[in-house]
């Protein structure tokens, strides 16, 4: 694909984004796979409305057959993917959103998560001044009911796949639209997608420090309720057949990331007790 130069950016720093044309596209598109969480989706949108840089769009991709027009009515920068697809999973839903995203940059905002106010501004500023194709931001895990932050990962300036693996968590890639890869559906698809982006970037991406992605923890999340043996098997299957084509070094690091997750998962299954997965990982990150 052709190189993307900072001069190709075209954005407005103020206003709601109304009246855009082909030469005035948003600086950044947030992709939202939406499924049965309309209240949280509105809260996610509210976090975008609080951004210090207002030139964004939210592309909502319903995966439940529900009506998400209230989001559009709430803000003209929201557009909804028109599709009859139902229960296809986050990867397919995000890919449908990616198809119609018009921003110079692409980021993820899941329907039950949010982003801190400087998130969009730090992304636009970074890609305006650097020729990198990808970056990421720290992730804060917070409890749904209390809002209490359980873990804060990614507090360093850059990461390769190995360092990403040591976080035992999700850090979504932010990237330029024309180099941003579609998701491959399957187990741990967010982790595999970020690993692919790191590999495409040559093995390392910057971690933007000024604002975090806020990831909501639910009591019924996979790591909280799924059988440990099943999760380990899924990781082993991934290691045996990686979903993306990668460089030799990227594939090697990704397989080690998966082996490390197997070890952590098995330790949690044996000793986690009432800790909760993320509290356990925070206390036992060297496995």
**Torsional class of 109: left (φ above 0), alpha (ψ -120 to 50), beta (otherwise):** beta
45-51, Cβ contacts within 8 angstroms, sequence gap of 24 or more: 45/71, 45/74, 45/75, 45/78, 46/114, 47/109, 47/114, 47/115, 47/116, 47/117, 47/214, 48/75, 48/77, 48/109, 48/115, 48/120, 49/75, 50/117, 51/115, 51/117, 51/118, 51/119, 51/120, 51/121
In the DSSP assignment, the letter for residue 279 is H
Q: Where are the beta strands (DSSP E) in 137-190?
A: 139-143, 149-153, 158-159, 173-176
- Give the pLDDT confidence of 224-262 residue by residue, as tens digits: 555 789 999 999 999 999 999 999 999 999 999 999 999
Angle of the 248-271 helix axis to the 189-200 helix axis, nearest 10: 150
**Neighbouring C-alpha atoms within 13 Å toward the C-beta of 101:** 34
**Torsional class of 14: left (φ above 0), alpha (ψ -120 to 50), beta (otherwise):** beta
Domain ranges of the chain: 6-221
Please determine, looking at this structure, whether the domain spanning 6-221 carries the CATH number 3.90.550.10: yes
pLDDT band at 24 (very low <50, low <70, confident <90, very high): confident
- Give the pLDDT confidence of 60-88 residue by residue, as tens digits: 999 999 999 999 999 999 999 999 999 99
- Give the pLDDT confidence of 150-160 residue by residue, as tens digits: 999 999 999 99
Separation between Cα atoms, residue 26 and residue 54, nearest integer Å = 9
β-strand pairing of 56-62 with 205-207 = unpaired
Looking at residue 274, its pLDDT comes to 64
Give this prediction's pTM.
Answer: 0.90
Does residue 286 carry a pLDDT above 50? yes
For tokens 């030469």, what's the residue?
23
**Of 192 and 15, the one with more pLDDT:** 192
Separation between Cα atoms, residue 148 and residue 28, nearest integer Å = 29
Separation between Cα atoms, residue 21 and residue 235, nearest integer Å = 45
Please, what sign has the CA dihedral across residues 36, 55, 107, 119? negative
β-strand pairing of 134-136 with 213-217 = unpaired
């Amino acid at each position: 694909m052709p190189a993307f130069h900072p001069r190709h950016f075209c954005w407005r720093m103020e206003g709601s984004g109304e009246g855009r044309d082909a030469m005035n596209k948003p600086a950044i598109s947030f992709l939202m796979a939406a499924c049965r969480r309309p209240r949280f989706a509105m809260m996610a949108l509210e976090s975008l409305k609080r951004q210090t840089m207002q030139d964004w769009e939210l592309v909502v991709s319903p995966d439940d057959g529900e009506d998400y027009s209230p989001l559009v009515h709430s803000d003209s920068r929201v557009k909804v993917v028109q599709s009859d697809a139902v229960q296809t999973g986050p990867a397919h839903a995000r890919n449908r959103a990616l198809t119609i995203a018009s921003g110079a940059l692409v980021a993820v905002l899941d329907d039950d998560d949010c982003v801190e106010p400087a998130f969009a501004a730090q992304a636009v500023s970074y890609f305006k001044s650097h020729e990198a194709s990808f970056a990421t931001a720290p992730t804060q895990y917070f409890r749904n009911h209390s809002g209490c932050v359980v873990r804060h990962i990614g507090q360093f300036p850059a990461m390769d796949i190995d360092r990403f693996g040591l976080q035992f968590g999700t850090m979504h890639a932010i990237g330029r639209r024309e180099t941003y890869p579609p998701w491959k559906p399957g187990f741990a698809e967010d982790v595999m997608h970020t690993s692919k982006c790191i590999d495409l970037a040559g093995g390392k991406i910057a971690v933007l420090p000024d604002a975090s992605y806020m990831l909501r923890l639910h009591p019924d999340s996979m790591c909280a309720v799924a059988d440990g043996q099943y999760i380990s098997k899924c990781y082993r299957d991934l290691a045996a057949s990686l979903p993306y084509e990668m460089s030799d070094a990227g594939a090697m690091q990704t397989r080690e990331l998966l082996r490390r997750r197997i070890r952590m998962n098995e330790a949690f299954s044996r000793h986690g007790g009432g800790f909760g997965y993320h509290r356990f990982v925070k206390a036992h990150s060297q496995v």
